[in-house]
Each structure stands twice: as C-alpha cells, then as structure tokens.
Amino acid sequence: MPATIHNDVLIYKGSNLFRQRLLLSTLSGRAIKIEEIRSSHDDPGLKEYEVNLIRLLDKITNGSRVELSETGTSMYYQPGILIGGQVSHSCCTQRGIGAPPQGGGEIVFKCPVRRHLRPLQWATWGLVKRIRGVVYALRVSPTMANRVVEAAKGVMLKFLPDVYINTDQCRGPNAGKSPGFGISLIAETNEKTFYCAEAKSAEAGTGEISLPEDLGRECAMKLLDEIHRAGTVDSAFQWILALWMALGQKDVSECVVGPLSDYTIKFLQHLKEFFGVMFKLEVLRTEDDDDSSDDEEKVITAQKIKMTCVGIGYVNISKRTH
C-alpha cells in the first residue's frame, strides 16, 4: 500500500510492516502516521510488542514525539535525532528476537559508529566451503540436541564434508525461563558470504510437538534453499543491504542478490517513499546461458537480481566533531 502524503507526513494503513516504517521514519526524519491498525479485528489497536518497539525507539532518539489515538488504531510518529550511547531494553515476550515467549535471555548488540557509509560493489559470492552451526537445548534433555545435530548433519553431509555443528546445553538459571531447543546453521563461501537458516521447536504449552529429527532436517532444507537462491547476502538480509546501498555516499552501489523476498520488495517501495531512492533492478544472465543449450541439466539456477542505486549521501548527524 503506497502512502499518501499530507503536509509532508506519510500516511499508511494497517499494522503490517510496522518495523520498516518506523525504522525508515527514524532514519529519514520524516513524520509518519499509521491508521486503521487492526481496526476490524476483535482486538483492535497496537499490540504490546509494537508499543514496546516504540519505547525502544524513544530510548535511542532525542526529541521523538508519539501520539496514539485512544483506541490505539492510529498513531503519529515524529522522529527525533538518533543519539547513540548505551541502551538497555527489555523486549516484549509476545514477539521477541528469536527467543521463545517466556524470555529470560540477554542479547548484546554492538554497532560501530560511522559518519557515512561507503558505496558498495559486490557481485561475487563464490562457492560454499564450510557449514557450521549451533544447536541449543534449554531446559530439555541434552539428547535432543544430539538428535538435531545428527539429522541436520545427515542432510548437509550429502553435499559437503566440512560440516561442524556445536551443541550448547544449558541448565539451571543459565538456561533462561523457556524450555525448548533450536538450531541455526551457517554456510560460508570462499568469498566470505554467509547464508544462514534457523529453526526452533514449538513453544511449550501450544500442544504441538516437534521432533528433533524433523527440526534438524527442516533447518538443513532451509539452508539449502538459501544456497540455491545464492546471491551476495541471504534472503533475510537483502533489505539491510538495500538500506546500506541507499544510505551510502552519492555514488553508485551495485550488488547481486538472489530472488527478492516479499519483505525486500516492500522495503524497496518504502525506500522510494521515504528517501526517494529508486533501484535499478535487472535479472542477471548467468554466464553459462550460452552453454545451457548444450547441457540441459544444469540450467535452472535461481534468478539473480542485480540491484543498482545511487546513494543519498546520508550523514550521521548525531556524531559530535571537535
């Protein structure tokens, strides 16, 4: 849904893509208004985790203004200036960052401070040379972890001998509050591109049962899917790549990625609205297209898309100079 612009305020509808919109609004300094948030639902208005996100934004900025309507179905956000520094924030358990709902974990995120981003040219990703992974089992039997490893490894070894998956069992207070297990796999190529996939068990109490073997296999399949899509970044990071390209200096950035995810497409549209950046997207022909007629069996690799854009010359205005 494209935005309508009224008085230089971008007006959106619906709770979908809430994160993207707030993020871009904060970066661009443009005010947004989101209307009709779950207006027709039984439980209208913003969810707790969305309000939590707004709180986080309020912490990391100075001078932000947020207005919520009484029912919570519409909000107005006037972003302030990002100030940096150390922030600690307790996330909402309704929708955490990869953690099950009871919470109890801690994530330390560090980010270097830069004045501007350099243009990026990235067109090769090489071949997968090793696969690494971690299986975690919290408050469950440690055999679960081993079963997951076995399943995942079983799939991956059919493609590559260099597979190593760690297990990480925690007990007692270290294990947090939520029982469960999960796996994350990383494939590294010889050009330093990483593809990752993750899967986690069903939440306790939902009634579903997830078998460790199924989980390991599922994650391995997801990773293979990523490898099949290929590109210089995996599908979950396409949008970040697009953001960095768009915010770079006023030079041309060029990157090749696999097929665009829905989320990236939406993000590109938002980039156009917030920053006025339009990407040149072209479907890349692989070199062996000409040969493809000779050997039919190797044709169908996933579509590669070359993204090209001119950065807007975004400057980190909150860094103090002397």
Partner 1 sequence: MADEAVFDKKKAHRAKLSGRKAEKKKKKNQVDQSNLSARQRNPKAFAIQSAVRAERQFRRREDVIAKKQHIPQVDKTPLDPPPIVVAIVGPPRVGKTTLINNLIKSFIKTNVTSTNGPITIVTSKKRRITLIECNNDINSMIDIAKCADLVLLLCDASFGFEMEIFEFLNICQVHGMPKIMGVLTHLDMIKNAKKLKMTKKTLKHRFWTEVYSGAKLFYLSGIIHGEYLRNEIKNLSRFISVMKFRPLSWRMTHAYMLADRLEDITNQENIRKDPKTSRDVVLYGYVRGVPLMKDSVVHIAGVGDMKISDLSYLPDPCPLPSSEKKRHLMERERQIYAPFSGVGGIVYDKDAVYIELKGSHSHKVEDEETNEKKALLKNVVETKETLDEQMQETGFKLFSGGAVIYPDMLKNDEYLQHSANNERTESSDESNSEAESDSDNDSGIDQSEKDSDAKLPWTNNSESEEENDDMDTEDKFTKNKSKTDADHSSSSDDDEEDFNIKWKEKLTEKATMAYFERQRTTKNIMKLVYNEFEIGNKTKEQEESGGESDAEEIGGIFKKVTITQKKKHKEKEQLDLDECSFFYSLDKPKLRDWLNEANKQLIINSFVTGKRSADEDAAELLKLDDASDGDDEMYGDFEDLETGEKHASDQKTDENKEEVGSKRKPESTKSEILNKKLRLKAKFDAEYDNPDDHRIKGDHSYYENLKAEALKQSELNKSVFESLDEGLRIEVEGFRPGLYVRMLFKNMPSEFVTNFDSSYPLLIGALNMAEQNIGFVSCKVKKHRWYKKILKTNDPLIISLGWRRFQTLPIYSKIEDDLKCRYLKYTPQHVTCNMHFYGPITPQNTGFLALQTVNNNSNEIKKLGFRVAATGSVNEINKSTQIMKKLKLVGTPLKIYKKTAFIKDMFTSTLEVAKFEGARVKTVSGIRGQIKKALNKPEGAFRATFEDKILMSDIVFCRTWFKVDVTRFYAPVVNLLLPIGNKNAWEGMKTKGQLKRERNIIHDANLDSMYTDIVRQPKVFKPLVIPKELQKGLPYKLKPKAKTTTLTKNRKPTILTNRIAVVKSPHEQNVSNVMKMLKTNFEKKMEVQKGMTSERIKKHKKQQEAEEWQKIKRQKELKKKICRHLSKMSNKKQKQM
Site for partner 1 in 84-123 (CB under 8 A): 115, 119, 121
Q: Which is nearer to partner 1, 169 or 235 (CB)?
A: 235
Q: What is the DSSP letter of 131?
A: E
Minimal distance in Å, beta carbon 132 to partner 1?
14
Using CB under 8 A as the binding rule, the residues of this chain from 32 to 51 that contact partner 1 are 36-38, 40-41
Of residues 205-264, those binding partner 1 (CB under 8 A): 218, 221-222, 224-230, 235-236, 239, 249-252, 254, 259-263
Q: Which is nearer to partner 1, 55 or 171 (CB)?
A: 55
Q: How far is the CB of 173 from partner 1 (least distance, A)?
A: 30
Question: Do 216 and 152 form a contact (C-beta atoms < 8 A)?
Answer: yes
Nearer to partner 1, 89 or 158 (CB): 158
The amino acid sitting at 108 is V
| Cα dihedral 74/270/111/313 (nearest 10) | -130
Q: Is 207 exposed, middle or buried (0-12, 13-18, 19+ CB in 10 A)?
A: exposed
Among 87, 107, 127, 157, binds partner 1 (CB under 8 A): 127
The residue type of 198 is E
Judged by beta carbon, residue 32 or residue 175, the one nearer partner 1 is 32
Q: Edge-to-edge, what's the strand order for the sheet holding 65-68?
A: 4-6, 9-13, 32-35, 75-78, 65-68
For position 83 contacting partner 1 by CB under 8 A, the verdict is yes
Element of type H or E holding 77: strand 75-78
Q: According to CB under 8 A, which one of 63, 141, 157, 174 is a site residue for partner 1?
A: 63
